[in-house]
Amino acid sequence: MPQMNFGGTTEEITTIDEFTLDQAREVLKDETVCVIGYGVQGPAQALNMRDNGVKVIIGQRSGSKSWDKAVNDGWVPGETLFEIEEAAKRGTIIQYLLSDAAQKLQWPVLKECLNEGDALYFSHGFGVVYKDQTGIIPPENVDVVLAAPKGSGTSVRTNFLAGSGINSSYAVYQDYTGRAKERTLAIGIVIGSGYLFPTTFEKEVYSDLTGERGILMGALAGVMEAQYDILRENGHSPSEAFNETVEELTQSLIRLVDQNGMDWMYANCSTTAQRGALDWRPKFKAATLPVFKELYESVKNGTETRITIEANSAPDYQEKLDEELRQIRESEMWQAGKTVRELRPSNR
């Protein structure tokens, strides 16, 4: 595998050029991949594998919305779509892609369905790393592996159909068969990864939970709201505040960062924007660094896990979630966003 240098740190990266699709198919030719759960990651990974010629079956509760969704996607009850226990017993690689809270609840049933030599596959290290809270302790006679796409299930499928792929991390927690790594890399390729980089279950879950609560979702939303509020308090219109806070970022600047990096984006903005960004960047870093330190420690010590499990297990969880999302959706900022999106030329 090629050694890639990232700012002085060397990593072993696996791309589809080194571990080809044909190699992946050869590794998986005698395997039956069982996808447990058809919610967020399940549909994308299952459909990508099916399109890549891998034998895939789905395990889902009949009568559920996810079961109906699977049927609509072409999975056939009794042939490629089964109840969870039946599917798990038929599979040789079991992709455990239920939500973290659901994994905890389903584990006592699933573990009884695992056969010697199976591979138990995760796309998130949550259940295994926080086993003291989830009770997920895999048996010793199976491989335990991970491939974690760095994006939502929607992105995994969309990028696959576009031919671009998505980056994924991979890890081997337990190698019973001696084939755990090649099985993991093969699955990583057939689910549509652009390249795969090694990690551990612990590092994957620590970075993932930090990223979701930080830059990717929590921090991004919080900083946007703060800037929007300041602009509105100083007399700027909703359109102006939203465009300067969100629209220009999502429709212009972040695309420049994606193309060639932050420095390139700076170089392609006005000199006034460059100077201000360079001067204020260290101030924002200094202000948020303590928050990120607090966040990482909360992830590492299991506090975030406890909060997540308790919240997701509450009988009124969905109602509370709907209310929290409603408050965001109906806030002035995101109502302005709805109007701005409708006014984009492509939507008129």
pLDDT band (50, 70, 90) for residue 312: confident
Instruction: Tell me how far the alpha carbon of residue 92 is from its chain's centroid.
Output: 24
- Residue 192 near residue 159 (C-beta atoms within 8 A): yes
Q: Does residue 341 register a pLDDT over 70?
A: yes
pLDDT band (50, 70, 90) for residue 108: very high
Give the contacts of 32 (CB within 8 A, at least 6 positions apart): 55, 56, 57, 90, 91, 92, 93
What pLDDT sits at residue 219?
A: 97
Q: Does residue 10 register a pLDDT over 90?
A: no
| Helix, strand, or coil (residue 160) | helix
Which is the CATH superfamily of the domain at 214-347?
A: N-(1-d-carboxylethyl)-l-norvaline Dehydrogenase; domain 2 (1.10.1040.10)
Residues of each domain in the chain carrying CATH 3.40.50.720:
3-198
236 a catalytic residue: no
Q: Does residue 38 register a pLDDT over 90?
A: yes
What pLDDT sits at residue 103?
A: 93
- Written as six digits, the tokens of 167 are 């980056």
- Section 92-103 average pLDDT: 93
From 33, 70, 98, 124, active-site residue: 124
What pLDDT sits at residue 313?
A: 86
pLDDT band (50, 70, 90) for residue 97: very high
pLDDT band (50, 70, 90) for residue 233: very high
Residues of each domain in the chain carrying CATH 1.10.1040.10:
214-347
- At the second CATH level, the architecture of 3-198 is 3-Layer(aba) Sandwich (3.40)
Would the pTM of this model clear 0.85, i.e. be above it?
yes
pLDDT per residue as tens digits for the range 294-308: 999 999 999 999 999
**What percentage of the chain exceeds 90 in pLDDT?**
86
pLDDT band (50, 70, 90) for residue 164: confident
- Residue 100 near residue 75 (C-beta atoms within 8 A): no
Q: Does residue 1 register a pLDDT over 70?
A: no
What pLDDT sits at residue 165?
A: 87
pLDDT per residue as tens digits for the range 118-152: 999 999 999 999 999 999 999 999 999 999 999 88
Q: Does residue 9 register a pLDDT over 90?
A: no
Give CA–CA dist 320/324, Å, rounded. 6
Outline where 125-247 has alpha helix (H). 126-129, 131-134, 153-162, 180-190, 201-213, 218-233, 238-242
